[in-house]
Amino acid sequence: MSGVDGFRAELREFLERQVPESLRGHSGAEMGFWGGRKPELPHPESKRFCLMMAERGLTAPTWPKEYGGGGLDAAHAKVLGEELGRLRLPVPLTGFGLQMIGPTLLQFGTEAQKQEHLPKIIRGDIRWCQGYSEPNAGSDLASLQTAAKIEGDEIILNGQKVWTSYGDKSDWMFALTRTDGSAKKQQGITFLLFDMAQPGVEVRPIKLISGNSPFCETFLTDARAKLSNVINGVGNGWEVAKALLGHERNMIGNVFGGGGPRGAAPSSGPPKNALAELARSYIGDQNGKLADPVLRDRVVQVSMDHRCFLLTMQRSADGAKAGQRPGPESSIFKIYGTELNQRREELMLSLRGPQSLGWEGEAFSREELEQTRTWLRSRGNTIEGGTSEVQLNIIAKRVLELPD
């Protein structure tokens, strides 16, 4: 036995024998381990699992071996996903390091930058956040004003970032800054990395309607970055910024669009439609069909669209050449995946009726209380990583090449 089959057999044995059994059945997104200097543990074994997978390069399966990655091609990486899914294990590590700055460093980083940052991302040592948006620079990102002044081998940073997701939990930031205020908007932007554990960095959480504080304002007052942590050279940050957004949009489309209703995927037996199961438990059956014909129609439509979306993402992943980077087409996945997620959340709300509008109290189950919050959270899906309107502009101009 060799090739993909041999890899599968070895991997299966490793996962079954060595990975703590208590992790099985915990594949939900909430079990994602984000790493960092002060890591939050969604499960007591999360960190140990991450490290044992990282030792084999399996937290970043397709990254080159010289930085600690697995060096796997797409076919082998797919096997890893399948085998984790078979045991319903969580992904060993997630976060903006693996999904955004890591792939960007592979493309634009110098050898020294890759050697410094990639192994720490792979082991989950450092948690990263994204410093792009500012109070006057969101969709019009190139208007950003955070000042970056070169002094010797350092860059001094002054300004404000906003909507920094998990800024309060992160160790390092990848940020867009302005090194030249007189140049054209897109020029004079510098992409750099800095350690947030320093006096000039103040992070203030923003509380949302959902009650959570997933993002923050970040104030920079004479904060310092090393010149050696500028990516792609001073003034050449816009190109890096756009490439990273491609990874971000793929990630967002994948995470939200690929999701499906929570806690329903069976580990064995014929696959069930989790949305239909949920509908049945709240609405009930009539003659073997969902009792409400309008909701039945919506369940079928969303289920079919979800299935088609998953297959399209899979086809795109299978067809991508090794190391191929996301192009402007990532906007299609972003817009479709996030709008699908919102439709699905709205539908689950309709299915559960008033039971999905609880905030606290014993009249509601844990899942129902969670539903209220995930529905509210889903409103941001079509804004984060670039709004749906901005994605439509990109698709029109750069994919379809329509005139202005």
- Give the whole-angstrom CA distance, residue 208 versus residue 372: 13
Q: Which two tokens stand for residue 216?
A: 């923050």
- Residues 362-381 touching ligand FAD, rule: CB under 6 A, are 380
Is residue 189 at the binding interface for ligand FAD, with CB under 6 A as the rule?
no
Is residue 350 at the binding interface for ligand FAD, with CB under 6 A as the rule?
no
The one segment of 1-9, 13-21, 266-274, 382-390 that binds ligand FAD by CB under 6 A = 382-390
Neighbours of 185 (CB within 10 A): 14
Sequence-distant (≥ 6) Cβ neighbours of residue 269 within 8 angstroms: none
SS3 345: helix
Interface residue with ligand FAD, options 22, 115, 139, 228 (CB under 6 A): 139
Is residue 393 at the binding interface for ligand FAD, with CB under 6 A as the rule?
yes
Nearer to ligand FAD, 136 or 198 (CB): 136
Is residue 130 at the binding interface for ligand FAD, with CB under 6 A as the rule?
yes
Longest dimension (CA), the chain: 77
Sequence-distant (≥ 6) Cβ neighbours of residue 90 within 8 angstroms: 23, 26, 27, 28, 31, 32, 33, 42, 43, 46, 49, 84
Nearer to ligand FAD, 110 or 387 (CB): 387
Give long-range contacts, CB 8 A cutoff, 24+ apart: 180-188.
180/235, 181/147, 183/235, 185/142, 185/143, 186/142, 186/238, 187/235, 187/238, 188/235
Is residue 76 within 8 Å of residue 11, measured between CB atoms? no
Is residue 383 at the binding interface for ligand FAD, with CB under 6 A as the rule?
yes
Sequence-distant (≥ 6) Cβ neighbours of residue 339 within 8 angstroms: 381, 382, 388
Least distance in Å: CB of 82 to ligand FAD?
30
Closest by Cα among 104, 371, 47, 121 to 246: 104
Nearer to ligand FAD, 344 or 352 (CB): 344
Interface residue with ligand FAD, options 33, 67, 128, 132 (CB under 6 A): 132
The one segment of 157-165, 220-228, 285-293, 368-376 that binds ligand FAD by CB under 6 A = 157-165
Interface residue with ligand FAD, options 145, 158, 165, 350 (CB under 6 A): 165
Nearer to ligand FAD, 138 or 258 (CB): 138
Least distance in Å: CB of 388 to ligand FAD?
7
Output phi, psi for 73, to 5 deg: -85, 175
Is residue 326 at the binding interface for ligand FAD, with CB under 6 A as the rule?
no
Q: Annotated active-site positions, please? A: 248
Is residue 163 at the binding interface for ligand FAD, with CB under 6 A as the rule?
yes
Nearer to ligand FAD, 179 or 391 (CB): 391
Is residue 387 at the binding interface for ligand FAD, with CB under 6 A as the rule?
yes
Least distance in Å: CB of 13 to ligand FAD?
39
Is residue 389 at the binding interface for ligand FAD, with CB under 6 A as the rule?
yes
Beta strands in 293-351 (DSSP E): none
Is residue 93 at the binding interface for ligand FAD, with CB under 6 A as the rule?
no
Interface residue with ligand FAD, options 215, 256, 333, 375 (CB under 6 A): 215
- Give the whole-angstrom CA distance, residue 2 versus residue 164: 46
The one segment of 64-72, 125-133, 148-156, 349-357 that binds ligand FAD by CB under 6 A = 125-133
Nearer to ligand FAD, 61 or 380 (CB): 380
Q: What is the rounded end-to-end Cα distance, in angstroms, of the chain? A: 56
Closest by Cα among 217, 115, 138, 111 to 173: 217
Nearer to ligand FAD, 307 or 397 (CB): 397
Closest by Cα among 394, 383, 391, 389 to 165: 383
Output phi, psi for 56, to 5 deg: -100, 10
Residue carrying structure tokens 């005139």? 403
Nearer to ligand FAD, 68 or 386 (CB): 386
The one segment of 149-157, 293-301, 328-336, 388-396 that binds ligand FAD by CB under 6 A = 388-396
Closest by Cα among 127, 114, 9 to 64: 114
Return residues touching ligand FAD (CB under 6 A).
129-133, 138-139, 163-165, 215, 380, 383-384, 386-387, 389-390, 393
